[in-house]
Amino acid sequence: MEFVYLIIALVVCITVHEAAHGWVAYKLGDPTAKMEGRVSLNPMRHLDILGTIMIFIAHFGWGKPVPFNYNNLKHPRRDAALISVAGPITNLLTAVVIAVLFKYVPLPEFAFEILRAIYSLSLILFLFNLIPIAPLDGSKILGLLIPQSKEDWYQRFMSQGPIYIILLITADRLIAEVSGFSFFGTYLQYGYDLVTTGIMIAT
């Protein structure tokens, strides 16, 4: 049953994450995502093959990137960062809502297990997507800190990001096999515990 719970969590978490990107882009004046059907809660419009596979291999992943046109944005760097952060923030808000349900609403066991899976994956996606390497959302947030004089470097870094993230994940798993230490695993575990503690205090 845990596999079923993970599939449900995967569909829910990635769908709301990617739909949030599209919705914010539309609200900021870019209709690209809406025209391509990405402002939608239909999961088939958002699931990415590699990102989905990584969920099962490494317990983190991503959805199909939501397209947007910088030329339609009034403040391209700032608005791109807002569009990007919308996904992780939506995952965080999903976890907060579930924490409130856990605290105040009696739930049957099957509902509890499904929501627990969604809660866990929501926080993992929130944390993982903040890493500042493309195609992850943190790469757009990083753009706010890069001076215009480094724009060419930043664009090269963005275009090569998927290669970097795959190499880093591969290296991290190899190091973990030898030393038992995983950078990504440690980051996600400490981040998960910290955010969960904050949510418990807030709710």
What percent of the chain shows pLDDT beyond 90?
51
Question: How many distinct structural domains can be found in the chain?
Answer: 1
The larger pLDDT score, comparing residue 43 to residue 120, is at 120
Check residue 154 and give its pLDDT. 86
Q: Give the helix/strand (H/E) hosting 83.
A: helix 76-104
Domain of 112 in residue numbering reads as 2-202
**Helix, strand or coil, per DSSP, at residue 47:** strand
Mean of per-residue pLDDT scores for the chain: 89
User: Residue 48 class from Cβ within 10 Å (0-12 exposed, 13-18 middle, 19+ buried)?
Assistant: middle
Please answer whether residues 179 and 76 qualify as being in contact, where contact means their C-beta atoms are separated by less than 8 angstroms.
Answer: no
Check residue 61 and give its pLDDT. 60
Choosing from 18, 36, 113, 177, the catalytic residue is: 18
User: Residue 38 class from Cβ within 10 Å (0-12 exposed, 13-18 middle, 19+ buried)?
Assistant: buried
| Whether 18 is catalytic | yes
Cis peptide bond upstream of 88, omega within 30: no
CA distance between the termini of the chain: 29
Please answer whether residues 32 and 46 qualify as being in contact, where contact means their C-beta atoms are separated by less than 8 angstroms.
Answer: no
Please answer whether residues 127 and 192 qualify as being in contact, where contact means their C-beta atoms are separated by less than 8 angstroms.
Answer: yes
What percent of the chain shows pLDDT beyond 70?
96
